[in-house]
Amino acid sequence: MNKTGVDSRAGWIVVAAEIGLIMMTMGTTYLLWVGLKPIAADFGWPREVPSLANSLQMIGTGLGGIAMGRWFDRVGLGPPVLAGTLAIVLGSVLLAFIDAAWQLHLINAVLIGFIGNGAMFAPLLTNTTRWFERRRGLAVAIVAAGQGLSGAVWPPVFELAIESVGWRDASLYYGLACLAVMLPLILVVRRPAPSATADAATTSGGAAGRVAGLPVHTPHAILALGILTCCIAMAVPLVHIVAHVSDLGFDSARGAQLLSFIMVLSFGSRIGIGVMADRFGALPSLLVGSALQALGLFLFIFATGEVALFAAAVVFGLGFGGLIPCYAVAVRALYPPADTGWRVGVVFFGGSIGMAIGGWMAGTVFDRLGSYVPAFTAAFGANVVNLLLLGFLASCLWRSSQRRFA
């Protein structure tokens, strides 16, 4: 039995540890989402202020993913993940003592975003692609599903903690929990990944210097723009659903339950779309997930009752969950292993910018218009653009493959 190489038992052990790391580190995001109204109320701020903190965290995570990815390429995964863990712990503890908006923004942008989460999501998913060939899509999806598990656990935990001890102590206790859980997991993921053998660029079509029949960097740029528009759309319900449900007349606990429900669905979505990517390819799988996300956003525009909200959440959760990891699989399908680390970081940076824009835009729209409906409408429009970009790239890849075998 293959125990240490590509598609090995050791790879699945690494996957299990990576799930735990992502499940813990993603709590930084859910603390802001669930605590958006309490944080704003505590200081008398408009919702735009904590929304901007979320946006800066997303931007910092994206930039950090590129920088930490290059560090990972040079020294392995251990040092970046250790630095990221310590930064998340320190940032979460410091949040408990802030007294100004700039402190909230700086901690989320640098400690939690750039150093902390920047060392986690993109590097961990890139590391996973280097452990697997035949089941790469499934493995990456399982690791990314740690975000869904995080979303199932942290929103109700933070809701209860904020109600019981306040958002400051909730942040403090969360940081200490990260220290206790994440440090042992680093000992598992620090082992070097085996060298993948297949050069995917030779199978993605075209002459030398071309990928999918396009100039070599063009598919990469399309994927970066695609995830940007995808995440603008995705961020609106994720960041603001708790506040939106509260504005519709339900208590905040109901909103946290709805967010947790979406994230539970996203876990199943990631596994399903990961299996689909292994069988049918990453781009067709991305198109399916994006179409479901668009339909969910369209339903959110009109949903005001509890049944309608949960119906929209079902469609949205089944769509959005598998999208982000599938972009990493798409990059690896188009480019060779040695060229994927920085490319995945750049693509995920586009996603971070999209999440930042979407979350901030929705908060700003609410502050100006007193409703989230225009924000959901704009999110649907961004999702339509995403479908057009992915459809174009998929058609180019299909035409290129037809020419190769003609």
Q: What is the pLDDT of residues 79-112, one digit of tens each?
A: 999 999 999 999 999 999 999 999 999 999 999 9
The Cα 405–Cα 13 span in angstroms is: 39
Above 80 in pLDDT, residue 12? yes
pLDDT surpasses 70 at 324:
yes
* C-beta atoms surrounding 376 within 10 Å: 26
Distance CA 118, CA 63 (A): 7
* Predicted pLDDT of residue 4: 59
pTM: 0.75
Residue 201 to residue 295: CA distance in whole angstroms = 33
Per-residue pLDDT band for 3 (boundaries 50, 70, 90) equals low
Whole-number Å distance between alpha carbons of 218 and 213: 10
Least confident piece of the model among 89-93, 171-175, 372-376, 402-406:
402-406
Average pLDDT taken over every residue of the chain:
87
Integer Cα distance of 219 and 225 in angstroms: 10
pLDDT at 389: 96
For residue range 240-289, list pLDDT tens digits in order.
Answer: 888 888 888 888 778 878 888 887 888 788 888 888 988 888 899 999 99
Give the pLDDT confidence of 13-25 residue by residue, as tens digits. 999 999 999 999 9
pLDDT of residue 122: 81
Structure confidence by residue, pLDDT tens digits, 240-250: 888 888 888 88
Task: Report, as an integer, the average pLDDT of 171-177.
Answer: 95
Continuous segment of H or E residues that includes residue 365: helix 341-369
Find, among 198, 68, 42, the residue nearest to 126 by Cα.
Answer: 68
Alpha carbon distance 127, 207 (integer Å): 29
AA identity, residue 280: F
What mean pLDDT comes out for the span 351-377?
A: 89
159: Cα separation from own chain's centroid = 21
pLDDT higher at 48 or 209: 48
Q: Is-contact 122 352, C-beta < 8 A?
A: no
Domains defined along the chain, listed by start: 9-405 (1.20.1250.20)
Listed in sequence order, the residues at least 6 apart from 180 whose beta carbon sits closer than 8 Å to its beta carbon are none
The helices-and-strands tally (H runs, E runs) of the chain is 16, 2
**Whole-number pLDDT of residue 295:** 96
